[in-house]
Structure formats: structure tokens, C-alpha cells
Amino acid sequence: MSVATEVPTFLPRDRFDDLLQALAAGGRRVVGPTVADGAIVFADLERAADLPAGLTLATAPGRARLEPLPAGPGARRTFQYTVSGEGIKKFTFPSRVDALSMTTDLAGTVRVKVEAPAEPVPLAVVGARACDLAALAVHDRVLIGGPAVDPDYAARRSDLLVVAVECALASSTCFCATMGTGPEVTTGADLVLAELDDGFVVRAPSAAGGRIVESLGLAPAAPERVGKAAAQTAAARVAMGTDAIPANARDLLLANLEHPRWEAIAERCIACANCTLVCPTCFCTGQTVTSGFDGVTSTAARTWDSCFTDGFTQVAGGNFRPRHQDRYRQWMTHKFATWFDQFGTSGCIGCGRCVAWCPVGIDVRAELTAFAATAPAVAAVPLRDRGTLQPLAPPAPDALDFRRATVVSITPETADTSPLRLVTDDPAILAGTPGQFVMVGVPAFAIPPISISRYHPDGIELTIRAAGAATSFLTRLRPGATLGLRGPLGRGWPVETAHGRDVVIVAGGIGLAPLRPVIDAVLRDRAKFADVRIYLGARTPRERLFVDEIEALAAREDVLVRVTVDRAGPEWLGRVGIVTQLFKTVRGTGTDATAFICGPERMMAATATTLGDLGVPPEHMWLTLERHMECGVGLCGHCQFGSRFVCRDGPVFSAAELGDDLRREGL
Amino acid sequence: MDVAVRASAAAATAEDAGHGRATARRRPRVGVVKFASCDGCQLTILDVEDHLLEIAERFDIVEFAEATSRRSSGPFDVLLVEGSISTPEQAVEIARLRAEAKLLVVIGACATAGGIQALRTAAEHEAFRAAVYPVPAYVDSLATARPVADFVQVDAELRGCPISPEQLVELLVSLTTGRRPQLPDQAVCLECKRRGIPCVVVARGLPCLGPVTRTGCGAICPAFGRGCYGCFGPRENANTAGYAQALVTGDAAAGADGRGRDPVDVGRLFAGFTGATQPFRSVTDSLAGRPPVTLRPTLASPPETLRAGPPTWGPAPSAPEAPSAAAAKEAPDGPRQ
Ligand SMILES: Cc1cc2nc3c(=O)[nH]c(=O)nc-3n(C[C@H](O)[C@H](O)[C@H](O)COP(=O)(O)OP(=O)(O)OC[C@H]3O[C@@H](n4cnc5c(N)ncnc54)[C@H](O)[C@@H]3O)c2cc1C
Ligand code: SF4
Ligand code: SF4
Ligand code: SF4
Ligand code: SF4
Ligand code: FES
């Protein structure tokens, strides 16, 4: 057995084919840079002759053009450029992979299966740069670092051999030296090549790399070759400089979320999404569902998506980031600010792809520098303390699994809303907590997130409003059908924190559904709480949910219930007006109260304001956010709300945790 | 986002088409008609080889000039309409057909945006006629060629010149399953990048309408090293003004000399197949120094969500008693899947 060796060896240029053969041993697929379509494209690499010999890639904002190398001894070099438009992401995280298959038999038994990736083909990537490896490390953190694990990425990552190339020059768009990720290759590679005119200085930092060097029988590199290689990389570092972006970029952005510059950028940015799709760390995906005409089988493919699209934040009834400026702000703050809160690293590794491949040449470095010029002094923004209530779970291999539950009854409550009573003996579902939700899978449909609206000893209830295609379908199921459920997911209501305190529950419309388990929990342990008050709002009397249940509650001595509607009909004798007006009528909603609030976001913000005025401390006001969700487990990126993932850090947050973001437009 | 499909009509269709149930239901009656157009979209319908048989099994195609000589006057459960409305008779005919159709789906750039013949909306109609026809008086045409939605309520649209066979199948599948058709409204660039096509703007300095055009074609033109012509029409929130500006200044697709493009050329770029849509037309007008015109949005009906029919799989409505948790447990592959 050979071991990793740091003694540099030399691979003469005419022996590069031997290296490729050694890599391909045992059926390993070898990919690397080739020339196609007027660009450098990573593809299968069979011979050294496939490499872009004698070419360089001249990049500038909005430009990446192949050009011949100047005549001279280095004119036949094959790696004399930096990064191409696509990195190695297309191999480790392809743009489209099968993620789920869903079937049902005619009896309505639904099966949702997480697709196991096809037996991963062992892969060797030739020509990855230092920044590519840094990006790979970021993806490792995001996609397999927990709490959920992307099975396809995990499989592709499990047998990857990396032959890195140390950059001999820097492009005008490169800024790895600023981001601390290059140009020297320090970690993550099995072999590291530094190209000279007549061949390559080879290092083998891993055992696998060492074995390849050994099999090739390479001689140690002469010290002058090693020195020359180091000198050209050092020169690349100097050429880039180390101050491409302001050092306090994160603080700058977070302190200037309402800066007029966002609007100015949005006039130039065409929201084409190219910057996100070429970025080697962007990981956002959607589920593309395809089905046959009968709707009994379907597959969902995990497909690259981008926060620059309208559909990204679309929910039934509206869009959270309608404007280009909201989307640009999401992109830039995610890369340079909130990524730190989420994953403990920068989301940008300085490859410059987003600069070169932006069709209109928007340069993130220039934009960040412009921010620094207009808002020079900002205080450091502390990293968000995530998971103060429940620590983040470690990576769970079964986090994506769908469990099964059977519909036993569907009883319409209003014209469009029906509770589904489900039975299951799945211990994980039964062990859910108030405020958690499930992703509901049936063949042919997108997988919507639905809150658990009651726990029973033998199952749960879901209260579903027919807001779109999937939810309409679910409310029309017949008893006996089974559903696939991913979950219970997320951080629910911290009911225990209200022990010994007054409890204020405020629900608007369907918002009562996720709060019902809170009411259940409070009543079960009634003695542990002081006063309990429930305020309910509905648009019209007919749209009130669980009317009988609420009347029974109202009849109790130990619970106060107030109901209001926006618009009354002739039959309505109760209150009319918005729910916040109800508090004014009640004494004692103050510092000793813990509030649990769910409804439309504006209603929750208004409620939080009113309750705050009455003295309820923000850390005792809990509300649950709604965002577009595709995965429910922190992998798809859709549900981001500033630095938070609503699916895994919430959906329940305290008003203190949300701060100003609760009222921020376009987040 | 996505396509709008009117609630009641779609629900009826979903029920009619049946899904994998033994019970035979009436197949929905489908018609395909055309107005001012080239028939290319109709031909696409014949192009969905893999699905053609199944479509014929599930839908009753009662009117389809390109494929059969059968003629039917309706009523139609689904009517696919190709072509723009460019003569007074056509305006009358589309109103009649609308009354006959539960679900009216416009297909192709002509029907959704006016098409290439709508170029005349930005020109002098009489001068055009005189230039093209020897005896213009014989030709009775409206001063504009307009999308179908300018005349009647439209329930759904398939974009493109021609439409994409995959999107057509997706729309038909959505009708039989009740699911939301996945017809993304995002830019062509996303598909271009997913396919790994090097951007022709950045790598070759070619102008490309991909960033402001709706995806659906699979980024065919960039795949062949050319810029997108915009045949799927504007994407959601297209920032055409910003893009046109960048092409003029040279921030986008600059030539080897780093210079931008002649505004007249940029204007022409936006005046193609779907040039008569508001986001494209306003660029052409402003670059040509013409006063801006206000066009109607291409989709006349406000986007509504597709409503599913009741599921057709699952226990029959009369299912006696529901299985218990124990029954679920006995299922062959267990509760955890
Ligand atoms: C944590 C959470 C809990 C929820 N609990 C309930 C509940 O108990 N009862 C209920 O009726 N509704 C609930 N919703 C809203 C519900 O998820 C949406 O109404 C539903 O996703 C709409 O899906 P659709 O396919 O019917 O509509 P479409 O508009 O066709 O949506 C297609 C897809 O877009 C996404 N999407 C659309 N709207 C939303 C949305 N509002 N929130 C998140 N993703 C969305 C989903 O991926 C969905 O599958 C909840 C949402 C969240 C985020
Ligand atoms: S943000 Fe831009 S420079 Fe940073 S890693 Fe992504 S593509 Fe590269
Ligand atoms: S949300 Fe972040 S990771 Fe996702 S596409 Fe946008 S910038 Fe990239
Ligand atoms: S910054 Fe550039 S690449 Fe990114 S969305 Fe805007 S225009 Fe497109
Ligand atoms: S070639 Fe056109 S469609 Fe493709 S990424 Fe570039 S601008 Fe977008
Ligand atoms: S990350 Fe996918 S829903 Fe939250």
C-alpha cells in the first residue's frame, strides 16, 4: 500500500495519456475540459488531445471568449485559463435527477419512494481548480452536512477522484485570493497538477493519488521545476489582489436591506438566473413532476431552480418576491451574508463565474464595493443564533422518506376546506409535536406542505383548503385512500414555554389548523397555564372552521373565546372587524402572556404590533410562517426567509427571532 | 405563473377523460381549428408519436383538418385554436367557436401573440397591402393581426413557433389528471444552463432573446450556436428595457471592439414572432422613437388555478368501511416506504 506523498513528481507532457489511462483503470469515468461550442466544456476525456491545447479564456464582466495563446514556449499549454462557465457541479449535482417515484393501485394505496441513485459510476474529474474544491466543500456542508442528506449527491460524492490543477494565471474575473479559497490547492484533491511548458509537477495529497503516481512510476520533479510552478501560482495571487470585495460585506448588506441601490441594480439585472446556475455553490432545486395520462404513476425530478424566477417564491394566492430587486437582494445577501448564518461559511468562493457569465455584465465585486461607498460605517451584525429551542438534528438518512397513512374520513368544514382524518401506526408520525407539518405525496401532483391539525392515539388530522391543484385533489379523496407523508417536519410551537403564563391564541382563517394542537395541549394540561384566551378571525361567518368545537370551548369556564368576521351576513350576530380589535376589549393581555399566532402574514404582523403595545414580550410571541416549499427538509432552498429556512428552522418563530424581517417587503 | 385553466371546464374534462378506471367514460370531444397561421402547430400535434395512440384513445378528436377529413360543428370539450385573427370573418367565427367550447386553448405564437403577421400592427396597414398584393381591394383584412384573447375569453395557452410537443402532452395530461400543467414561465436561460449550453451572448457576442423569453423550446437556438428569437414570447416580468439598453451600450454581447449595437438592429431583434406583445413592442417603439402603444395582455383571463376533478383511482365511492391502521401495516411493503 502506498501512502499520500507530498514529494512532487514530474509528468512529461507526452505522458498525459498514461495518466488518463491510470485514472480510467477499473472502469472509472474520466471527465475534464474540452473545447465545444466556442467554449471550454467539461466532458469525457479520452485523450490528452481532447484538452484545450493552445487556448485561453479571456473573461470580463459579460464576456468569456476563447483566444489563442501567444506564441512562445508555453503556446501548447492545455490548462492556461481559469474556470469555464460550468464547474464540476454538473457531475456531482446534475441539473436533473430522478428524486421520487409515486404510484397508486386502483384501491388507492399510494407508494412514494425516494429514488435510490443508480449505482454511482466512479468518476475522476481532471482540471478542477482550488475554487472548485472550495465549492465542493460548501456543497458537502449543504447537501450532506445535515439535517437531511441528498441521496443522489451523497452517492455521486462517495466515489469521486479529483485531479486538480493549480492556476498558472488569474482571469480578470477571479477573486479567490480575496475569498481565501485559492489559487493554491490546499485540500480536497487526490492529485494536484501544476502545468509547465514541457509537463506537469504532480503532487499526490491522498492515498488514492499516491497509488496513481506510483503506478505511473514518475520521477521526483527537479527543484527548479517545483520552484517555477510555485512562482506562477504566486504571480496569479498577486495579479488578483486580496481586496476584490469589502471585508465587511456581510455587515454592509444586512445593514442595508432597504438601500435604494437594490432598485438601481434591478434596472440593469434582467433576472435571467445565469449567475445562480453557473455558481458552483448554488443548490436550489424544484421538483418537476411528470405523469402518465391516468395519473396513477408519476416521477418527480430534482431540477436546478433559481431564486431569480417568479415561480420560486410563488404560493397559492401570491408571491413573496415579485420584484427583480427582491430577487437580486436574495441572491447577493444569500451568497455574501446569510450563508454564514445557515452553514457557517461564505456562499461565495470567488470563482467569478457569475461575473463573466452574466449576459449584461453585472459584477458582484463592483456592486459590493458600491455599497461600501454609499454606506461606509456599519456595525458588525452578530451571527444568528439558530435553534435556540431545539438543536438542529444530525444528518438523518431517513429524513426524506415517506411514511404511509390511510384516510378514514373527510368531512368538509367550509366550501373549500376539509379536515382529513388519517390513521397510521408509524411511530414517527405519532410522535410529532404541535406546529409540525408533513409534505403530502400523491401520484401526479406536487407535494404540498400541510400542518398537522390534531394528534390522535392512532393517527393525525390534516385540515386542507383547496387552494390549488394538489390541495383540491386531496380534499376530494375518498376514505380508504392512503397518502405518503414526509415528516413530521420543522420546529413547532414551544407550548411548554407558556407554563405558568397566560396563553393568547390568535388565528385567522385556515390559521386555526396549525394552532389546534396547541389548544389541545393547553387544555390537556390546563392547570399548568394561567388565563387562556382564544381569538379567532374569519372572512365571513360561513368560512369559520370547527364551529362546534369552538362553541364547546366557549362554553367552558376556564377559556375565553372571541370570534370576529370581516364581513357579516344577515344571520351573524357576533362581532365584525379585524381580529386585532378584539384585544382592546380584554384586560390582562400583557407581560405575563405567551401568544401563539397564525394567519396571513400581514395579520400576524399587525397582531404582533398590537400585542407588543399591550406589553407581550417579543420572545413570548410565536408565529408560523408560510413560504413556498419543495422539500420540507432544508435541501431545496425555496423557503428561505432571510437567514432562516422556514421548513427546518421554523415554521414557528418568535417575533424576537424575526425582528424587522417580519415586516420587510420582498423577503 | 403557469397556464390558466378555467375551473369548471377543466374539472368537467378531468372527469370525462377518466383515469385508469375500468369504467368507460365519455371521451372528451377535442377540436383543432386554425385561423391566420402556417399549420405548423397543428402538425406538432401529429409529432407526439409516443403518445398519439393514447391521446386518440382518451380523447375523441372530432375536428382536425390537418389529420382527418371529419368535420364537426361542436360542441367541444377542448378546442385547440391555432392562428391569429386577421379578417372580419375570423372575428365572427372565433366568437361562434368560443360559444361551442368548454375549454379554449390557444396554441402557438400566432394565436397567443399575433405571430409574424402581427408585424403589420407596427406598420402602415394600407401601405403593406399595397406593397404585397397587386389589387389590394380584393383583400379584406383587419388593420391588425391579433391574438385570440383580444376577441374571446381564453382558458389556456401554449406558446411557441411552433408549440412544443412535450408541452402539448403536458397540457393534455393535466386535463386527464387534474394536476397543474408544468408550463414554466421562466427565462430560456434556465433551460440553456440545465442543458450545459455555453451562453452565446457571453462566449460569442451574439444577441439572444433568451433572458426575456419564456422557456419551453429546450433552448434549441442556443444549442445550435444562435441567439434565441423569442418565439415563446415574453417570460414573467421580462425586463426588456434593461436588456435592450445593455445591447445598445455593449454591456451585453459586445463585438470584438467592445462596442454595442445599433438601436435600430436591437429594435428589430424584439420585433419578431412575438413582437406584438407589450414587453417586446414597447422596446421596438422606444428604440424607433415611436410613441408607446398599450396592448392587451396576451392572456385575457386572469390566471386561475386549475381545479382537479375527483380522483378516479382509489376506493370506489361506495367503499364499505375504511381500512384500519392494522390493514395499512399488512400492506406488502410496510408503512415505511
Ligand atoms: C408550513 C406550512 C403549513 C401549511 N399548512 C397548511 C394546512 O394545514 N392546510 C392548508 O390548507 N394549507 C397549508 N399550507 C399551504 C399549502 O401548502 C398550500 O396551499 C399548497 O402548497 C398549495 O398547493 P397546490 O398544489 O394545491 O397549489 P399550487 O398553487 O398548484 O402549488 C404548487 C406547489 O407550489 C408550492 N406552494 C404553493 N403554495 C404554497 C404555499 N402556500 N406554501 C408552501 N408551498 C406552496 C408547493 O410546492 C405546491 O405543491 C401550509 C403551508 C406551509 C408552508
Ligand atoms: S457568487 Fe459568483 S464568484 Fe462567488 S462562487 Fe458564485 S459564481 Fe463564483
Ligand atoms: S437562494 Fe441562494 S443558493 Fe438558491 S439560487 Fe438563490 S443565491 Fe443560489
Ligand atoms: S445578475 Fe446578471 S446573470 Fe444574474 S440574474 Fe441579473 S442579469 Fe442575470
Ligand atoms: S444563450 Fe441566450 S438563452 Fe442561453 S443563457 Fe445565454 S442569453 Fe440565455
Ligand atoms: S429548503 Fe426545501 S422547503 Fe425549505
Ligand nearest to the CA of A265: 4
Residue from A196, A195, A221, A216 nearest A6 by CA: A221
Ligand nearest to the Cα of A273, by number: 4
A197 near B CB under 8 A: no
Q: Which of A645, A644, A649, A643 is nearest to A630 (CA)?
A: A645
Nearest to B202 among A64, A106, A303 (CB): A64
**Torsion sign (Cα): A111, A112, A118, A120:** negative
Question: What per-residue confidence (pLDDT) applies to A294?
Answer: 86
The three-state DSSP-derived secondary structure of B257-274 is CCCCCCHHHHHHHCCCCC
Determine the Cα–Cα distance for residues A187 and A133; give it in Å rounded to an integer.
Answer: 7
CB proximity under 8 Å: A 372-431 to B: 398, 401-409, 423-426
Most ligand 5 atoms within 8 A of CB, residue of B190, B197, B200 to mutate: B200
State the smallest CA–CA distance between residue B126 and chain A in angstroms: 37
- Please tell me the residue having the least CA distance from ligand 1 atom 6: A450
Instruction: Band the pLDDT of B145: cuts 50, 70, 90.
Output: confident
State residue A271's pLDDT score: 97
Instruction: Name every chain A residue with its beta carbon within 8 A of the beta carbon of B237.
Output: 271, 310, 322, 324
pLDDT above 90 for B336: no
Peptide bond into A517 cis (omega under 30): no
Cell of A304: 436546478
Whether the per-residue pLDDT at B20 is higher than 90: the answer is no
Residue B324's pLDDT band, with cuts at 50, 70 and 90, is: very low
The alpha carbon of A343 and the centre of ligand 3 are apart by a number of angstroms equal to 13
H-run or E-run covering A285? strand A285-291
pLDDT score of B327 more than 70: no
Sign of CA dihedral A191, A11, A26, A30: positive
The 10 Å Cβ neighbour count of residue B317 is 8
Say if B320 is an interface residue toward chain A (CB within 8 Å): no
Q: Is the CB of A80 under 6 A from ligand 1?
A: no
What domains are there in chain A, each with its CATH number?
1-95+111-269+314-391 (no CATH), 403-489 (2.40.30.10), 495-624 (3.40.50.80)
Per-residue pLDDT tens over the stretch B263-322: 999 999 999 888 888 899 999 989 988 888 887 655 433 333 333 344 444 444 433 333
pLDDT recorded at residue A211: 95
Radius of gyration of chain B (CA): 23
Pocket test for ligand 5, best of B197, B206, B224, B247 (most atoms within 8 A of CB): B197
In one-letter notation, the amino acid at residue A568 is A
Nearest CA-CA partner of A346 in A651, A91, A141:
A141
Contact B152, B104 (CB under 8 A): yes
User: Does position B204 have pLDDT exceeding 90, yes or no?
Assistant: yes
B71 pLDDT band (50/70/90 cuts)? low
Task: Please list the residues that pair with A36 across neighbouring strands.
Answer: A39
A388, amino acid identity: T
| Region of poorest pLDDT, from A12-16, A487-491, A636-640, B252-256 | B252-256
What pLDDT, on a 0 to 100 scale, did the predictor assign at position B13? Answer: 42
Cα–Cα dist B128/B132, whole Å: 6
The overall average pLDDT reported for chain B is 77
Which helix (H) or strand (E) element contains residue A128?
Answer: strand A123-128
Residues 217-236 on B with a CB inside 8 Å of A are 225, 236
Taking residues A437-465, report their average pLDDT: 96
Predicted local confidence at residue B35, as pLDDT: 86
Q: What per-residue confidence (pLDDT) applies to A295?
A: 86
Across A265-279, A534-548, B3-17, which has the greatest mean pLDDT? A265-279
Q: Does the pLDDT value for residue B25 go beyond 80?
A: no
User: Best of B167, B179, B269, B306 to disrupt the A interface by mutation (most A CBs within 10 Å)?
Assistant: B179
Higher pLDDT, A394 or A612: A612
Query: In one letter, which amino acid is B239?
Result: N
Q: Which chain A residues are closer than 8 Å to B199 by Cβ?
A: 85, 274, 357, 359
pLDDT, tens only, A349-366: 999 999 999 999 999 999
Residue B178's pLDDT is: 85
Ligand 1 mean position, distance from CA A48 (Å):
52
Percentage of residues of chain A with pLDDT beyond 70: 96
Between chains, do B178 and A267 touch, taking CB under 8 Å as contact? no
* Amino acid identity, position B258: G
Q: Is the pLDDT of residue A540 over 50?
A: yes
Portions of chain B given CATH number 3.40.50.700: 3-177
Nearest CB to A271 within list B184, B200, B237:
B237
Most confident of A182-191, B25-34, B297-306: A182-191
Closest listed ligand to the CA of B193: 5
Partner-chain residue, chosen from B212, B237, B312, that has the shortest CB–CB distance to A310: B237
Which atom of ligand 4 lies nearest, measured to the CA of A357? 3
pLDDT at B59 over 70: yes
A481 touches chain B (CB under 8 A): yes
User: Which 3 state secondary structure label does DSSP give B78?
Assistant: strand
Q: For position B34, what pLDDT does the model report?
A: 86
Residue B69 pLDDT: 56
pLDDT class for B126, splitting at 50, 70, 90? low
User: What b/e sequence results for A582-607 when a residue is b if at least 16 CB atoms lie within 10 Å of its CB, and e otherwise?
Assistant: bbeeeeebeeebbbbbbbbbebbbbb
Indicate the SS3 state at residue B26: coil
Q: Which CATH architecture describes the domain B3-177?
A: 3-Layer(aba) Sandwich (3.40)
What pLDDT, on the 0 to 100 scale, is given for residue B11?
38
- pLDDT given for residue B311 in this prediction: 47
Which residue of B196, B246, B315 is in closest CB contact with A268? Answer: B246
Residue A476 at interface with chain B, using a CB cutoff of 8 Å: yes
Instruction: Please tell me the residue having the least CA distance from ligand 2 atom 5.
Output: A348
Ranked by mean pLDDT, the top range of A7-16, A103-112, A116-125 is A7-16
For residue A331, the ligand 3 atom closest to its alpha carbon is: 7
The lowest-confidence range among A210-219, A398-407, A514-523, A574-583 is: A574-583
Q: Is residue A277 lining ligand 3, measured as CB closer than 6 Å?
A: no
- Looking at residue B129, what is its pLDDT? 57
Residue A277 has pLDDT above 60, yes or no: yes
Q: Is A348 in the pocket of ligand 2 (CB under 6 A)?
A: yes
Report the distance separating Cα A605 and Cα A607, nearest Å: 5
Q: Is the ipTM of this complex over 0.90?
A: yes
- Stretch 313-332 of chain A: residues touching chain B, C-beta under 8 Å: 314, 316, 322, 324
State the average pLDDT over residues A298-321.
94
What's the average model confidence in pLDDT over A395-422?
91
What's the average model confidence in pLDDT over A454-463? 97
Give the Cα separation of B265 and B117 in Å (integer): 19
- CB within 8 Å: B19 and A294: yes
A498 lines ligand 2 (CB under 6 A): no
The three-state secondary structure class of A135 is helix
pLDDT at B139 over 90: no
CB contact A265 to B (< 8 Å): no
As a whole number, mean pLDDT of residues B125-152 equals 66
**Positions of E strands within B99-227:** 101-107, 156-158
* Side chain identity, residue A28: R
pLDDT of residue A244: 94
Residue B307: HSE in the Cβ half-sphere, 13 Å Cα cutoff? 16
Looking at mean pLDDT, say which of A172-176, A539-543, B126-130 comes out highest: A172-176
pLDDT score recorded for residue B302: 34
Q: CB-based burial of residue A496 (10 Å sphere; 0-12 exposed, 13-18 middle, 19+ buried)?
A: exposed
Flag if A477 and B211 touch (Cβ within 8 Å): no
Q: pLDDT tens digits for A588-636?
A: 668 899 999 999 999 999 999 999 988 999 999 999 999 999 999 999 9
Q: Which residue of B lies nearest to A477 if distances are taken between CA atoms?
A: B311
Per the CB < 8 Å rule, is B319 touching A104?
no
Taking only the tens place, the pLDDT of each residue in A204-261 is 999 999 999 999 999 999 999 999 999 999 999 999 999 999 989 999 999 899 999 9
pLDDT, residue B245, reads 95
The beta-carbon neighbor of A477 closest among B193, B236, B314 is B314
C-alpha–C-alpha distance, residues A444 and A102, integer Å: 8
Three-state SS at B316: coil
- The interface residues of chain B toward chain A in range 254-293, judged by CB-CB distance below 8 A, are 254
